[in-house]
Amino acid sequence: MTETYVEACCAMVTHKFSRFGFLTALLLLCLSTPVRPAGGADLEKAGHVLNRIAYGPSSADLTRVGQIGVQAYIAEQIDPAGIDERSNVRLRQREDALFTLNLPVRETLLVMSGQFWRYRKGTSQPHPGWRDLTFNDADWLRGPTGIGIGDGDDRTVLTDMRRINDDPETPDNESQAGYLSVHLRHKFLLDAEGLAAIDNLILRVDYDDGFKAYLNGAEVARANLPAAIVPHDASATASHEAGTARNFDISDHKDLLRTGDNVLAIQVHNRSITSGDLSMIPELLSRQILPGPARRVIRGIDELQQLIHVRGVYSAKQLQTVLAEFWENHFTTDYDKVAEYLDGLTNSDATDAMPQSQARAEAAQLEYQEYQFFYDNALGNFADLLLYSATSPSMLIYLDNVLNVKGAANENYAREILELFAFGVDNRYTQRDIEQLAKCFTGWGLCKVPRDQAQSFPDSALLPPTECEVEAEQTVLIDLGTGWKFFKGTQEPTPAAAGGPSAAWAGSGFDDSHWFRGFTGIGYGDGDDATMLSDMRGNYLSIYLRRRFMIDDPDRLENPILEIAYDDGFVAYLNGDEIARSANMESLGAPPAHDVDATPNHEVTASPARISLKPFRSILKAGENVLAIQVHNGTLNSSDLSILPRLIDRRILPGSTEKGDLNGIWTFGFDPEKYDTSGKVLFDGTPDRIVIPEGRGSGRMGLTGLRDTLDVIRSIASHPSSAEFICIKLIQKFVSDNITLATYKDGTAPAELEDLLTEMLAAWNSTAPVGNIRTVMQAMLDPVNQSSLFWSETAYRTKVKTPVEFINSSLRALDAGASGNGLPGLNNAMGMHLFTRDDPDGYSELGFDWIDTASMLERIDFVRDLAQNRKSDYYWDALLFMDERNLETTLQILAYFDELLYQNMLPEANRSLLLDYLATNSNGVPLRLNRLNPQDFKDRVEEFVGLLLSMPQWNFQ
């Protein structure tokens, strides 16, 4: 029988794989015979190779393997530089959609969070001109943003906003009527230079629930409110929780801005008058695009997760893509932890380094850089992969090496580099080695550098910057020492009319001539005070301080910062306005009464709290100003209290890169000051013992100390334990998971797998440096002789697909279209969310970790959604698929998929079950499948493929 015969007679062979076609034809002829058809060695091998070094067979790849043979296909895959993907349009289009171009920019906050705004409670309708520049808001209330109630995200708390009428807990408050809205205004100055620099104008709002924003009287943005004029007593149309600020690009409205005074006005509405939370934290951002090259960056973490699938389904470099996923998972890092870390950073001027959106974008890009390195070096040297991972910013953050400093070691990374990334658990190392190794990694950290100073690997690891501190010069406006007046908090310094506290004492007009004079620090206990309050303990809980200071021109201050060391709590005021308080004074009233206590306790430490006064620059006056502070003890009988405030202005010197710099690049940095120079001994008592002498006297300090640690990493990479652990993981991934480090060590692993391991270890050790992955893969795959264990029954169809493998192979089986959207969610549901795994061990390569009812439900739902086109994110065209392959009858369709997916080895019982399914209507009544009835044909083929891919066999590869 010839190929021509098959095509002519059966009209179904598309693989141009004459022997496969022959077998398929045979199968058709033999269908009545109740025996499994012979598999055919070539088809079996082709299917096996595609199941392992690729994400399963696609018709195109199976055809290609048929044309060139498995040996040539493996050769091509193992040296993928020769595969040209420039004309792979499906791949390129989908990949390009995941990236964006990042231009160099300068951002300036025209309005920042924490600034004082005028606001008016929405108990009645405000004057119609309330949002105009000319409106006089002098009789409105005044307070810093966030303004609102509930959730603990507001500095100006509107306790009367919520209607309370039937709360049995507080019957006394039944009369609180509440109100639905707040109107806010904030004026800001803009000079001609600043106005000209605005390329993009962004309104960044953290809000709950709905708002409308106006710039100089004209609406520029809204959310959850209608277009029409919204009265004060209207509800927001939907709920929205604050917590993540949202950017509104209002560049189209930038012409509303003018030099001189401008006003940003906002009305914020609650969803319901009984709602317990509302919030408004607005910022206005000017973005100037600077000259310079653009950078291609991943759009976000979702897009990075999609990239795994886009490459996995469409790239011809299948082995490289499979290995890239393997390494990414092996050297796993957690995007969420990286983003959270970046979000928590502070610039040297004490401002928040970046908004959450920037932190997420930077974290996603760091994860992408890691993945791309593993992709580019998937078949390279293990030592490079290990060194890259160790110095990658994501890893430095993820396993806490950024926190690992001399005298305060953190063992997290030191443990995992041995246990999880190189040696395998308990494989020739001890707890002592971990402690010693943790010392080696002290001083390792992150540095943000200008784009043109970012180095590529290996220089990024070998020659990291050692000076990452931002250079600045400081002008001291108020130093520790003289000039302070204080008042003992035995009573309120300036009681309000009703007897409660007022902040009148903190204002610039207050007469403090009857207060005591003192030097800071003021307090008692701990020996850190210049003014001793020997009568405080047991007698009063608080003290009040004032200090006058002169400023010639507030606009010339760059970064005014209040530095304050305190014990136990404080509230600080500038010219009578509260500007900061310690966390343990939250919700104690504004101002807190003299007799409240600050809990939990807080001690004076070497690094004082630093508060940026940038948002309060407009409060400062030319001439005399007053800084006032009230300090509270934790308990009346506390053994100490202290306050040590300084006011400084900080001017950042040119050339420095702040942590929040949008144009900077995160790199590995080494701080010699934080490096532990004490002597270290690793792997003591073994042939691989490493001794690093003490730094003092031997010169092993500074960069020498870094070089010592880089040498240790190289030693770890070339250590026999690493060879064992990595080769075993490669066997688990590509051959059989019936071996682990533990069974290898205790001698219970199957002998044939141990033999394969021996061959791979020999290959590992055959190169200089050792650990060339291409060489090791060559030994494992044995493409020329095809006699290694990879080709045996032990390997064939014995591996359970991981979720990524299951998803990608399903899409490839149907030539499906997928943008990648929706697939990360599926991975998550099946238990394999790459880039966000909490645990540092990576996802399992072992089959029994992937099969349980919850994940099988997800698998079955996915393939049925795919086959029946129930989701827009992944789809196939059943009619086109069948027509292109000339498949019309139930037998043809089944035979085609049996060959493509199962190497013609579906057992008779399954074949008849599948044929029955395809040959009956939705009620199970036999009905001939008829291509001339396209809708019924399509529906039944789709349902059939849903069952085909739900079969037990499809979980195996």
The dihedral built from the CA positions of residue 270, 273, 279 and 285, taken in this order, carries a sign that is: positive
Measured from the CB atom, is 97 or 742 closer to another protein? 742
User: H or E element: which one contains 278?
Assistant: strand 278-289
Measured from the CB atom, is 57 or 842 closer to another protein? 842
CB of 312 to another protein, least distance (A): 22
- What residues pair up with 157 in beta bridges, in sequence order? 148
**Encoded amino acid at 810, one letter:** S
Q: Using CA atoms, how far apart are residues 280 and 114, in angstroms rounded to an integer? A: 11
569, burial (CB in 10 Å: exposed 0-12, middle 13-18, buried 19+):
buried
Q: Using CA atoms, how far apart are residues 85 and 63, in angstroms rounded to an integer? A: 18
Q: Using CA atoms, how far apart are residues 752 and 411, in angstroms rounded to an integer? A: 38
Alpha helices in 356-479 (DSSP H): 356-376, 382-391, 393-398, 412-416, 431-440, 459-462
Measured from the CB atom, is 356 or 601 closer to another protein? 601
Cβ distance 447 to 663 under 8 Å? no
* Exposure class string for 686-709: b at 16+ Cβ within 10 A, else e: eebebebeebeeeebbbeebbebb
Nearest to 542 by CA among 647, 643, 646: 643
CB of 596 to another protein, least distance (A): 18
CB of 739 to another protein, least distance (A): 8
183, burial (CB in 10 Å: exposed 0-12, middle 13-18, buried 19+):
buried
CB of 538 to another protein, least distance (A): 17
Q: Using CA atoms, how far apart are residues 957 and 57, in angstroms rounded to an integer? A: 10
Measured from the CB atom, is 456 or 923 closer to another protein? 923
CB of 574 to another protein, least distance (A): 29
Query: Phi and psi at residue 527, in whole multiples of 5°?
Result: 70, 25
Count how many Cα atoms sit within 13 Å of the Cα of residue 614 in the half-sphere of its side chain: 18
Region of 16 on the Ramachandran plot (φ > 0 left; ψ -120 to 50 alpha; else beta): left
CB of 868 to another protein, least distance (A): 8
Query: Phi and psi at residue 641, in whole multiples of 5°?
Result: -155, 145
CB of 441 to another protein, least distance (A): 12
Measured from the CB atom, is 708 or 858 closer to another protein? 858
Measured from the CB atom, is 456 or 853 closer to another protein? 853
CB of 419 to another protein, least distance (A): 6
CB of 740 to another protein, least distance (A): 5
Please give the structure tokens belonging to residue 319.
Answer: 């082995």
CB of 375 to another protein, least distance (A): 26
User: H or E element: which one contains 248?
Assistant: strand 246-249
Measured from the CB atom, is 622 or 854 closer to another protein? 854
CB of 252 to another protein, least distance (A): 41
Nearest to 322 by CA among 332, 308, 307: 308
CB of 196 to another protein, least distance (A): 44
Pairing relationship of beta strands 560-567 and 609-612 according to DSSP bridges: antiparallel
**Encoded amino acid at 144, one letter:** P
- What residues pair up with 202 in beta bridges, in sequence order? 249, 285
The dihedral built from the CA positions of residue 56, 57, 58 and 63, taken in this order, carries a sign that is: positive
CB of 577 to another protein, least distance (A): 29
Measured from the CB atom, is 452 or 839 closer to another protein? 839
CB of 953 to another protein, least distance (A): 6
Measured from the CB atom, is 613 or 739 closer to another protein? 739
CB of 744 to another protein, least distance (A): 10
CB of 35 to another protein, least distance (A): 13
Cβ distance 117 to 186 under 8 Å? yes
Q: Using CA atoms, how far apart are residues 467 and 306, in angstroms rounded to an integer? A: 37
Measured from the CB atom, is 684 or 916 closer to another protein? 916
What would the DSSP string read from start to end of 696-712?
TTTT--HHHHHHHHHHH
Measured from the CB atom, is 212 or 439 closer to another protein? 439
Q: Using CA atoms, how far apart are residues 722 and 743, in angstroms rounded to an integer? A: 16
Measured from the CB atom, is 38 or 297 closer to another protein? 38
Cβ distance 795 to 407 under 8 Å? no
Q: Please state, as a whole number, how many other Cβ atoms lie within 10 Å of the Cβ of residue 878.
A: 22
Helix, strand, coil shares, percent, the chain, to 5: 35, 20, 45
Measured from the CB atom, is 456 or 872 closer to another protein? 872
Please give the structure tokens belonging to residue 787.
Answer: 């006699």
Measured from the CB atom, is 21 or 393 closer to another protein? 393
Q: Name, in order, each residue with C-beta under 8 angstroms of 139's C-beta and a sequence gap of 6 or more.
A: none
Peptide bond into 831 cis (omega under 30): no
Measured from the CB atom, is 316 or 863 closer to another protein? 863
Alpha helices in 720-822 (DSSP H): 720-734, 741-745, 751-764, 773-781, 803-813
- Angle of helix 335-343 versus helix 356-376 axis, rounded to 10: 140
Measured from the CB atom, is 87 or 923 closer to another protein? 923
Q: Using CA atoms, how far apart are residues 60 and 219, in angstroms rounded to an integer? A: 55
Measured from the CB atom, is 23 or 280 closer to another protein? 23
CB of 909 to another protein, least distance (A): 4
Nearest to 648 by CA among 558, 740, 548: 558
Place of tokens 């608080």: 542
Measured from the CB atom, is 236 or 878 closer to another protein? 878
CB of 833 to another protein, least distance (A): 10
| 339 DSSP assignment | H
